[in-house]
Chains A and B, each alone.
Chain A
C-alpha cells in the first residue's frame, strides 16, 4: 500500500495530509487559488514532494489514492457564477422554482429578495401532466420541448435541468425530454429530477435538480482539467471526490451528481471524528470545528454520523441526504457588538480574513473573538509572526475598550472575558441543537475538537453541557482533510412510496428496494469496489397519518420486507418520535412516505501507530509561564510545547499547550493527557481517564 493524500480546499488555505502505510502523517498548507483551484492543488503536492526530496511526478508514483474536497461548486452557487442554466417544467407551473415556497428568512428585516438561480425567461414550460397515481393526464408535447431547445441554443445555455410534476411516479416524460435535448443540443449537460432526487415535494426536487445543473458543468470542467494533469504526470492511482453525505465518489459520478459536493466542505470533520474516536473504541461523539467565521457541530451515534435532507445553500434547497452539520456564525473572526438596547452580543457578523481581527494588524477596527482570546492570554503572538502577520496587541485592547468595555462601563479584561463567555455559550447551545433537541443526552458523548482555535473553547463548552471527555487530535487543524482519507464510497437512493401502513404492498416495497440495491451495486462496481466490500443499508421515512414531516427509521434485513419488519419499523418510529418531540401515539395509524437505500463501498482504514504510555511528568515539555485569565483573574499559567509532549504526559490546569497551528487551553478544573496515539484527552480534574474511556465506549 502506497501513500494516501487528502486535499481539502478551504476559503483561505488548502490543507494537505499525506499518510504512509505506517500511519505517519505530514501536514502541509498552501494558499487557495480561487480562480483555478487546481494550481493550489499541484503546488501543495509539490511542497509535499520537495519535503520528501522527490519531484512531483515521483511523489505521485508513490501515491495510490488522492481524496479531494473541493468547494468549487459551493463558491459557484454562492457567487452566482454557475453555468448558464435552462429549466424545463410542467405547463402551468412555471415559477415553483423561484417562488421558493414563499418564505422570507428574516421576517422583520427589510431587505431585497434573493436573485433567482434561473431567471424566468430561461424557465420553459412544456405541455404534459402526470397525476399522483402515475397516470398521464396530458401527454408530452414534444414540439414544446424542441422549441425550448431552440431557445436555449440562442441563449447559449450550458446546462438544462428538467423537473416535472409527479415525475418520480412516472419518469417517461423526463426521459423523453432528455432524448430530445440530446438530439437538439448535443453534448449539453442535462439533469433530470428523476435521476437526482426521485422523491415527493416539488420545490425541493426542482431546486436540487436546478442546482445540480447549475454547478455540473463547472465541476466537470475542473475535474477533467485535474485528471488530465494527473494523467500527464502518469498518476495511476485513484482520485476520489468528497461528498456532502460524508462519503466519497469517483470523478465520473461527481460530474453527474455535482450537487452532492455543494455542502462537502465541512463533511470531512465528522468522518475524522469517527476515525479518531475509533482509536479508543468511542462510538458516540460530537465533533466541533471552529473556523474564522463559522462553528460546525455534528453528532455521531454508534459510529454513524447523523444525516438530514433539510439542507440549503444561498437560499436554495438541497434535499438529498447530507451530513447533519449544524452551523452557526461563531468563529475567531466573529464580531462582538452592543445592540441599540445596550446588550452585548457576538456574531454572526465576522471580520473574515480581510481585514480580520484587530490584532492581526490589517486594519480591523471591530473587536472579535480572536482579540478577546489574545487579551485573555490564550494566544501566543509568536505563532502569528510565523504566519506572516503583524501582530498588533495594542489594537486588540483598543477596540475592545472603545466598542465594548467603555459603553458597558467595565474594564477591558472583563469585557474580553464576557465575549469569551458569550461565544462559548452560543457554541454550547449549538451542541444542544444536535443533541438534546434530537433526543440525545450529551453527557453520553465524547467531544472531538477540530480547528486551530477549537481547543481554546472546548473545555468551557464541555463543562456547560456536562460532557465528561474531550478528544483533541494532534492534526486538529487539518481535521477535514484527515476525515476525507477515511471516508467510504457512499451513494444514496430514494423512492417515494406514499402508503398508509395497513395498505402497504409488501411486494412493491421489496421491488423498490431491489431496484435501488441493483443501482447501488452497479455504481459501486463501476467504481472498482470489490463485491465483498459493498454494504447496503435501508431505511424509511415514516409519519403519523396526516402529518407533514417524517422521521427516518432504519429497516432491518435485506429489503424483503414482511409484516414483522413493518411492526419493527412502526415500533422504532413511535420511540423516535417520543424522543424527538416529547410524545408518541402508539396505536395511531402510521404512513410510509419514502424508502431509502445507501450503498457503501468500504475503503481501507489507515494504520494508527500505538505507543506505550510513558511517565506522567511533562516537565521536559514545559516552556515557562504566561499570564492568562482563569476563574475571574489572571494567573501565571504553565505553557507546554505540544510537539514535545509524549504519550503518558500529564498536564494539570491551569495550563496552555501550544502547537504551531493549535492552542489548547486547560482550565483549572480540567486535566490533559497525551494518549497512546499522541492525541490529547482532556477531562474534569480528579477524574480517572481510563474509567472515563471505559464508561464512554
Chain B
C-alpha cells in the first residue's frame, strides 16, 4: 500500500517531536479561551474543548477540560465540511450549534477555522464551548419545559461567521438578537475566534517547518500508535458481553417517570462495541441524547477507567463502535429537545458503562460519582446595573472511591472528570445579586467503603434581587439515581435541594423551573461519591479520623463501618467494634 510505504520511511523521532507540537498547539488554543472568555462558564468552569483536525477531517489532537465534549468534535467538523464542500476559503470561520446538523447540544457552540497552506486546506483549528445563553424560553439555554428544539434555542446550522476574513455582521446580529445575554455571547464568540486563530497561526508555522506531506505521514504514525495503545488495553480485558443500566431521574415533563439507559459491552479481542439498543425510547422532555453526545459519553467512561493514559484521537477511536438506535433516548430524532443531554443523559450513560465494565474488571473502575444537580439562573443585577447569567458551579458532589484510595472531594460531575473549576465565591458575589451563606463539605454525604467516597458539599445562598429565573437540572435526587458503590461499598445518599421563601420550604426537583425573589434562600445538599469495598475492612483509625474531622458522624461510623465511638470522648470501644465487625467471630462479611 502506498500510504504504508510512505509512513514506513518516517523517522520515529520526528513523529514524537510532531506529536508533542500538535498537543502544545491544542493546549494553547485552550489557554487562550481560558484567559479571555467572559462567561464564567468558560473561564471559571472551563466548560469547553479545543481540537485539531487534519485535511481528511480526522481528529489529531484535543484538549478536553470538560471531557464529555471529547467525542463530539468529529461530528461537528464533518458536518461543516460536508455542507460547504467546495466553498471553503482561506479566512473563513465556521459556526454551528444545531444538534441535528452535527452538534452535540445547542449551548455548546462550535467554531472552526480551516488552516490553509499554499492554497490547500491542511488542518482545522476548532473550539467548542458552553455559552451563557443561546436564546429560547429557558434559562441560560436550559429549558426543562421544552417539548421541541424550537423552544430551546436559536438554531445555527453550519454557517460562515467570517467569509474570507470578513465578519458576517448579519449572522452575528441575528444570533445576538436572539439571545438574552448578547454581551456575554458576543465576548465569548470573539474569544473562540481569537483562540482558533492562534491555533491557525501555530499550525501554519508547523507547516512551514515540516511541510504537509511529512506532517500527514507523521499523523498517520501517531494514529497507529494510539490505536495500538487502545487495542492493547482491550486485549487486557476478558472477552464477552457485560451489561449495565442506569436511570435518568425524569425528563422535566413526566416527572414521575425514570428513563433507563441500557448498555451491553461486547468485548471481542481488540475491539469494543457499546450497544445501547435496549435503552428506552426518546423522551418528550430535553434529556434526550444525540449520537455525538452518546458516543462521547461512552468513550469518556472508557478513558476514565481502563483506557486511562491512552491518547484520544482518530486512531484510538478506531477500536470502538457505538450502536444507538434512532428514536431512542441515546439518539433522539428531530425535533426532540436535547439540551439536557450533556448532563442528565451523559451521566446515566457513563454510569451504565462503568457498571458493565465493573462486571469484568472492578478494580479498574471508580464507584459512582455524584451527579450534577444545581440551577442555571438569569436576571438583572441591581448592584451592577447589568444582566447576568450563571450556572452554580460551586455546588459539586464527591467522586467515587476506587480500589486503593478514597474518592476525591467536591470534584463532580463525572462528565467533567475533575476539570470543572469551582468559581471564586467572591468574584461570584461581585457579578450576581447573591450572598453565599454556606459552602463546605456535607457530613455523611459519602458512600461508606473500605475506601470512602469523596465528600459532597452544602451550598446555600440568599437571593438579593427580584425576578430571577432558575432552571434546576442534572439529577441524582432519588435513591435509584444516587451514586452506587462497588465491590461491597455503599451507595451515597441522594441530593437534597430546597427553596426557602419566608416560612415556606419548597422541595426542589431536577429538570424544573423556579422563580427567585429577594430574600429567598436556595439550599443544595450534594451527594458524595459511592464507596468501594466492604466498609468493615476500613481501618478503625481511618474511620475515627473521619469522625474527628467531622466528615462521618458517630452514628454512621457505627452503622456503616461497624466502629463504636464514644460521642463525648471520641474514643473507640475496641470490644464493641470487634463484635460489630465480626458478629459471629468470623471474617468480615
Q: Which residues of A contact B (CB under 8 A)?
A: 92-96, 98-99, 101-104, 107-113, 119-121, 131-132, 137, 165-166, 200-204, 339-345, 408, 410, 417-418, 421-422, 425-426, 429, 432, 437, 498, 544, 546-549, 577, 580-583, 585, 588
**With an 8 A cutoff between CB atoms, is B435 at the interface?**
yes
Q: Does B437 contact A (CB under 8 A)?
A: yes
Contacts of A103 in B (CB 8 A): 418-421
Could you pull out 30 A-B pairs where Cβ atoms are within 8 angstroms? A92-B437, A95-B410, A99-B409, A99-B422, A101-B421, A102-B410, A102-B421, A103-B418, A103-B420, A104-B408, A104-B417, A107-B64, A108-B417, A113-B408, A120-B441, A201-B426, A202-B425, A341-B225, A342-B228, A343-B19, A343-B225, A344-B13, A422-B17, A544-B38, A547-B37, A547-B43, A548-B38, A582-B197, A582-B198, A583-B193
Given known A-B contacts A121-B550, A132-B429, A340-B232, A425 and B419 have beta carbons under 8 A apart: no
Enumerate chain A residues within 8 angstroms of B233, measured Cβ to Cβ: 340
Asked if B366 is an interface residue, CB under 8 A from chain A, the answer is yes
Cβ-based interface call for B334 (8 A)? no
> B228, A95: Cβ atoms under 8 Å?
no
Is B183 interfacial (CB 8 A cutoff)? yes
Among B12, B32, B229, B304, the most chain A Cβ lie within 10 Å of the Cβ of: B12
- B175, CB-defined interface residue at 8 Å: no
Tell me whether B303 and A102 are in contact (CB under 8 A).
no
Interface hits, B400-449 → A, CB 8 Å = 402, 404-411, 417-427, 429-431, 435-441
State whether the Cβ of B16 lies closer than 8 Å to any Cβ in chain A.
yes
User: Is the Cβ of A104 less than 8 Å from the Cβ of B418?
Assistant: yes
Q: Which residue of B lies closest to A547 (CB)?
A: B38
Beyond A99-B410, A101-B422, A201-B424, is A110–B15 a contact (Cβ under 8 Å)?
A: no
Inter-chain contacts of A585 with B (CB < 8 A) = 187, 190
Nearest chain A residue, comparing its CB with the CB of B460? A92
**Complex formed: what's the CA distance from A102 to B398 in Å?**
9
| Interface window among B20-28, B158-166, B244-252, B474-482 | B20-28
In the bound complex, residues from chain A placing their C-beta under 8 Å from that of B198 are 581-582
Interface size, B (range): 35 or more
Bound CA span A159–B257, Å = 55
The minimal Cβ–Cβ distance linking B123 to chain A, given in whole angstroms, is 17
CB distance from B568 to the nearest CB of A (A): 15
Are A102 and B225 within 8 A (Cβ)? no
B35: chain A residues at CB < 8 Å are: 549, 580-581
Given A113-B454, A340-B228, A418-B13, A577–B425 Cβ distance below 8 Å? Answer: no
Chain A residues lying within 8 Å of B410, measured Cβ to Cβ, are 95, 99, 102
A165 touches B425 (CB 8 A): yes
Shortest Cβ distance from residue B368 to the other chain A in the assembled complex, whole angstroms: 15
- With A93-B440, A340-B229 already in contact, 20 other A-B pairs whose C-beta atoms are closer than 8 Å: A103-B419, A104-B411, A107-B64, A108-B67, A108-B308, A109-B308, A132-B430, A165-B425, A201-B426, A340-B228, A341-B228, A343-B12, A410-B12, A425-B20, A432-B24, A547-B38, A547-B187, A581-B36, A581-B195, A583-B193
Nearest CB of B to A549, in Å:
5
Provide the bound-state CA to CA distance between A132 and B12, in Å. 57
Asked whether A408 lies within 8 Å of B12 as measured between CB atoms, the reply is yes
Q: Cβ of B227: which chain A residues have Cβ within 8 Å of it?
A: 341
Q: How far is the CB of A661 from chain B (nearest CB, A)?
A: 30
Query: Do B422 and A102 touch across chains, with their CB atoms under 8 A apart?
Result: yes
Q: How far is the CA of A410 from the CA of B419 in the complex (A)?
A: 40
Measured CB to CB, the closest approach of chain A to B528, in angstroms, equals 12
Closest to B36 in A: A581
Q: Which residues of chain B are near A92, meaning CB under 8 Å?
A: 437-440, 460
Residues in B lying within 8 Å of A, measured CB to CB? 11-13, 15-17, 19-21, 24, 28, 31-32, 34-40, 43-44, 64, 67, 183-184, 187, 190-191, 193-195, 197-198, 201, 222, 224-229, 232-233, 303-305, 307-311, 366, 396, 402, 404-411, 417-427, 429-431, 435-441, 454-455, 457, 460, 548-551
A95 to B32, CA, bound (A): 30
By the criterion CB–CB under 8 Å, are A549 and B34 in contact?
Answer: yes
B548 touches A342 (CB 8 A): no
Q: B550 contacts A113, CB within 8 Å? A: no
Q: Shortest CB–CB separation between residue A306 and chain B, in angstroms?
A: 15
Query: In whole angstroms, how far apart are the Cα atoms of A204 and B32 in the complex?
Result: 21
Which residue in chain A gives the minimum CB-CB distance to B462? A137
In the assembled complex, the Cα of A108 lies from the Cα of B410 at a distance in Å of 17
CB-nearest residue of chain A to B15? A343
B17 near A102 with CB under 8 A, answer: no
Q: Which residues of B contact A101 (CB under 8 A)?
A: 421-422, 424
Residues of A within 8 A of B425 (CB): 93, 96, 165, 202
Q: Please name the residue on chain A nearest to B307 by beta carbon.
A: A108
CB–CB A583/B194 < 8 A: yes
Q: Is the CB of A93 within 8 A of B229?
A: no
Task: State how many angstroms separate the Cβ of A442 from the closest Cβ of chain B.
Answer: 12
Residues of B within 8 A of A581 (CB): 32, 35-36, 191, 194-195, 198
Docked pose: A547 CA to B44 CA in angstroms: 10
Interchain CB contact under 8 A, A339 and B418: no
Chain A residues whose CB sits within 8 angstroms of the CB of B303 once the complex forms: 108
* Inter-subunit contact A341/B226 (CB<8 Å): yes
Which 3 A/B pairs are nearest by Cβ-Cβ distance? Answer: A104-B418, A341-B225, A112-B405
Q: Contacts A102-B410, A113-B406, A583-B36: A94 and B12 contacting too (C-beta < 8 A)?
A: no
With A101-B422, A429-B21 as known contacts, state yes or no: A341 contacts B190, CB within 8 Å.
Answer: no
Given A108-B417, A343-B19, A113:B426 Cβ within 8 A: no
How far, in whole Å, are A544 and B426 apart by their CA atoms in the complex? 18
Task: Please name all residues of chain A whose beta carbon is closer than 8 Å to the beta carbon of B194 when the two chains form the complex.
Answer: 581-583
Residue numbers in B under 8 Å from A96 (CB-CB): 425, 439-440
Q: Which residues of A contact B19 (CB under 8 A)?
A: 343
State the CA gap A103–B194 with chains docked (Å).
26
Residues of A within 8 A of B439 (CB): 92-93, 95-96
For A583, list chain B residues within 8 Å (CB): 36, 190-191, 193-194, 197
Contact A548 B550 (CB under 8 A): no
A506 to B211 CA separation, bound complex (whole angstroms): 55
Report Cα–Cα, A103/B309, bound state, in Å.
Answer: 18
Q: How far is it, in angstroms, between the C-alpha of A342 and the C-alpha of B230 when the chains are bound?
A: 12
CB–CB A102/B197 < 8 A:
no
> Which A residues lie within 8 Å of B195 (CB)?
581-582
Judging by beta carbons under 8 Å apart, are A113 and B405 in contact? yes
- B36 contacts A109, C-beta separation under 8 Å: no
CA distance A217 to B382 in the complex (A): 46
Contact of B420 with A102 in the complex, beta carbons under 8 Å: yes
Bound together, the chains give a CA A121 to CA B545 distance in angstroms of 9
B308 CB contacts on chain A under 8 angstroms: 108-110
Contact: A418 with B12, CB < 8 Å?
Answer: yes
Closest Cβ of chain B: how far from A75's Cβ, in Å? 25
Q: Which residues of B contact A580 (CB under 8 A)?
A: 35
Nearest opposing residue in chain A for B46, CB measure: A103
Taking a contact as CB atoms under 8 Å apart, the answer to whether B16 and A343 are in contact is yes
Given A107-B417, A108-B303, A137-B435, is A548 in contact with B427 using a C-beta cutoff of 8 Å?
A: yes
Query: Which residue of chain A has its CB nearest to the CB of B455?
Result: A95
Residues of A within 8 A of B431 (CB): 546
How many angstroms from the CA of A200 to the CA of B420 in the assembled complex? 20
* B37 and A548 within 8 A (CB): yes
Contact B31 A437 (CB under 8 A): yes
How far is B423's CA from A99's CA once the two chains are assembled, in angstroms? 12
Contact A548-B40, Cβ < 8 Å, known A102-B396, A422-B16, A580-B35: yes
Which A residue sits closest to B419, measured CB to CB? A107
Determine which of A108, A344, A582 lies in contact with B309 in the assembled complex, contact meaning CB atoms within 8 Å: A108
* A425-B17 CB under 8 A given contacts A95-B440, A137-B435: yes
Shortest C-beta distance, A310 to chain B (Å), equals 10
CA A425 – CA B209 in complex, angstroms? 13
Are the CB atoms of B438 and A93 closer together than 8 Å?
Answer: yes
Q: Which residues from chain A contact B438 at a C-beta distance below 8 Å?
A: 92-93
Least Cβ–Cβ distance between B234 and chain A, in angstroms: 12
Chain B residues, Cβ within 8 Å of A98: 409
> Nearest chain B CB to A259's CB is how many angstroms away?
20
Q: Given the complex of chains A and B, what is the CA–CA distance between A554 and B430 in angstroms?
A: 25
Within 8 Å CB of A582, what residues of B? 32, 194-195, 197-198, 201
